[in-house]
């Protein structure tokens, strides 16, 4: 592990994700207490990703260390904006700023991380990254929920403490310039653009509906943090093992087909069985069990494509984010017009169902190792 070239970036990622997860894990309960409605939360998340699209198409040249620093400082600014919320527009502004941090951090980080590894270790390195995130997603919400149940002031104070290791590690990261053309980036992933777009639409379930709809059942910070930790613990079991297996097999479609079909079926079931807390726990846990594996495989799908990562990853982020904005916009409308979402599950389930259909039926995907 010590001689692994991705160890340094991985430690940096852990520090940053811990900061972001701890400070943001139980924020939906804080928003609710501040008078922000569930539809407003969905709208804020839509703005979160819409801001990323603007940045991806305008700021096409980044220096990695400067970008990491900007992401970290702006994330703290967005956090300060929601300590006391006096209007929904203040919340939307904080959401847009928080969205820019995801762009400024993860775009250069993903390029640097996967460029540091070797192709035969792509699945393992991808699994290491997602497993680290999953472990953090178990521990950080538990701590945040426990502290917030006493006082939200502990969240703001400890966030400043956790900021320090991130700032310490930034100068120790490899400094490089990421300079890309939007047109070239999109062209470089032509063969997988549709799959990424469908993935982005479906992720509305994970990023928006599950975190916010859960507030119908769980509203206390401690209970909400425990629920998030439970979901992450469910997803932690299979990730690293499957990453090693897929590296050896090099036929990732063996896993992508059943996983995507299972996720589609589960999404449809939300429309029928998500109305009580027991069904909600079972369905969300089932999705979370498959989710880290799905993300590991689809990330490896881009890295395995053989395209230069400085082109492929910006294109991947742009298409994913476009899909997320469309899906979240539809979910936002569902929350506004339906109160409790129903029809949106059919849209998201169909998007995921099309994933294995297109993967199997289109010959242009045969240039990769997935079919």
Residue ranges of the chain whose pLDDT lies below 70: 1-4, 117-123, 126-127, 238-254, 304-307, 362-371
Residue-level pLDDT at 327: 96
Does residue 144 belong to any structural domain of this protein? yes
CA distances from 11 to 1, 6, 199, 267, 359 (A): 11, 9, 28, 34, 34
> What CATH number is associated with residue 111?
1.20.1250.20
Residue-level pLDDT at 263: 97
267, 356, 254, 195: CA torsion to nearest 10: -100
pTM of model > 0.75: yes
Residue-level pLDDT at 207: 95
Does residue 1 belong to any structural domain of this protein? no
Number of folded domains that form the chain: 1
Residue-level pLDDT at 360: 80
Does residue 287 belong to any structural domain of this protein? yes
Residue-level pLDDT at 370: 43
* 200: containing domain: 6-367
């Amino acid at each position: 592990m010590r001689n692994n070239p991705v160890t340094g970036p991985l430690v940096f990622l852990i520090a940053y994700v811990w900061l972001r997860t701890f400070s943001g894990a139980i924020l939906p309960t804080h928003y609710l207490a501040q008078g922000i409605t569930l539809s407003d939360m969905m709208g804020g998340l839509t703005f979160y990703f819409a801001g990323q699209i603007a940045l991806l198409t305008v700021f096409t040249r980044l220096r990695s260390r400067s970008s990491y620093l900007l992401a970290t400082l702006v994330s703290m600014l967005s956090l300060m904006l929601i300590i006391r919320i006096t209007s929904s527009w203040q919340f939307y502004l904080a959401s847009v700023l928080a969205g820019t941090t995801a762009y400024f951090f993860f775009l250069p980080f993903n390029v640097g991380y996967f460029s540091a590894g070797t192709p035969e270790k792509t699945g393992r390195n991808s699994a290491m990254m997602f497993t680290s995130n999953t472990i953090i997603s178990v521990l950080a919400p538990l701590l945040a929920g426990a502290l917030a149940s006493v006082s939200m002031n502990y969240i703001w104070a400890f966030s400043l403490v956790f900021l320090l290791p991130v700032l310490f590690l930034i100068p120790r990261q490899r400094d490089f310039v990421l300079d890309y053309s939007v047109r070239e980036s999109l062209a470089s992933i032509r063969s997988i653009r549709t799959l990424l777009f469908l993935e982005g639409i479906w992720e509305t379930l994970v990023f928006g509906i599950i975190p916010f709809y859960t507030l119908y059942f769980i509203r206390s910070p401690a209970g909400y943090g425990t629920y998030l930790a439970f979901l992450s613990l469910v997803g932690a079991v299979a990730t690293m093992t499957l990453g090693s297996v897929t590296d050896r097999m090099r036929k990732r479609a063996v896993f992508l087909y059943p996983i995507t079909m299972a996720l589609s079926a589960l999404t449809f079931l939300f429309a029928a069985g998500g109305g009580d807390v027991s069904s909600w726990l079972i369905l969300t846990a089932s999705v979370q069990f498959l989710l880290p594996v799905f993300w590991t495989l689809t990330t490896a799908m881009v890295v395995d494509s053989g395209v230069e990562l400085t082109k492929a990853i910006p294109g991947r982020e742009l298409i994913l984010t476009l899909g997320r904005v469309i899906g979240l916009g539809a979910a936002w409308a569902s929350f506004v017009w339906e109160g409790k979402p129903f029809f949106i599950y059919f849209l998201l389930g169909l998007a995921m169902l099309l994933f294995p259909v297109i993967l199997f039926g289109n010959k242009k995907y045969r240039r990769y190792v997935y079919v």
